[in-house]
Amino acid sequence: MSELKNLIEKCWKERELLNNIKYQDAIKSVIEKLDDGDIRVAELIDQKWITNEWVKKAVVMYFPIQKMEVKEVGIFEFHDKMKLKKGYAKKGVRVVPHAIARYGSYLARGVIMMPSYVNIGAYVDKNTMIDTWATVGSCAQIGKNVHISGGVGIGGVLEPLQATPVVVEDNVFIGSRCVIVEGVQIKKEAVLGANVIITSSTKILDVSGPKTVEHKGIIPERSVVIPGSYKKNFSSGEFYVSCALIIGKRKESTDKKTSLNDALRTHNVSV
């Protein structure tokens, strides 16, 4: 792997090497390993998500070495340079028409894709549901037993290279029409109600205790989250700005399914 990394790093610095078959093969090898789940764009090391920049570099350089092609499927025509995943039955993945996953994304056994989209570099772990018209952006990292509801937008990130992609950890529930972008991390077992929008600059306010606690970029473990707003002063007056409100926690004493139902019922969260 170190030899492969060295080739990618050298090609990144000397872009004329993109015309060299040796370096093209190295880039393609990285994408193949991403597709098989042998390497990841980001991984959890000592409780911290670390971005493998050299892998992202390979993804970025994969685009210019691919050629545009016209592809026809029945009455549909596509014009693109990226391949799509194949072999779903062998992988143990259920893919409902018209779900699409690009080659170079990883789908683990037990993943279900309703009509949805998964982009290159993304990693989707075991038994995760990607519901109708949801999107998982480039390099996003999705954990086990996650439910991504209808219309959810998980943002992608290729550049800047050092930026951590969106991370959704194990046993998270993301309600309908949520948008999670710009490297936001949703920690284990969190529950997001419908229409929660979180960017790297969005205020995340824990209002479940006697004092408001502010977070940015991270939803803590087992948090139950709903959309909210707060007043902010501008030159022309005072206006309301969107935020995310943590209104409680999932219980540790119950299993994941019971905990989810209990959280939604107790806090009256719409999904």
**Residue 146, helix vs strand vs coil:** coil
Q: What is the pTM of this model?
A: 0.93
Using DSSP bridges, classify how beta strands 185-186 and 167-168 pair: parallel, antiparallel or unpaired: parallel
Long-range Cβ contact pairs of 142-146 (< 8 A, separation 24 or more): 142/168, 143/168, 143/169, 143/170, 143/171, 143/172, 143/188, 144/108, 144/170, 144/171, 145/170, 145/171, 145/256, 146/170, 146/171, 146/172, 146/173, 146/174
* Structural domains present in the chain: 2-65 (1.10.166.10), 92-267 (2.160.10.10)
pLDDT (tens place) for every residue of the chain, 271 residues total: 899 999 999 999 999 999 999 999 999 999 999 999 999 999 999 989 999 999 999 999 999 999 999 999 899 999 999 999 999 999 999 999 999 999 999 999 999 999 999 999 999 999 999 999 999 999 999 999 999 999 999 999 887 776 889 999 999 999 999 999 999 999 999 999 999 999 999 999 999 999 999 999 999 999 999 999 999 999 999 999 999 999 999 877 666 666 666 776 677 766 5
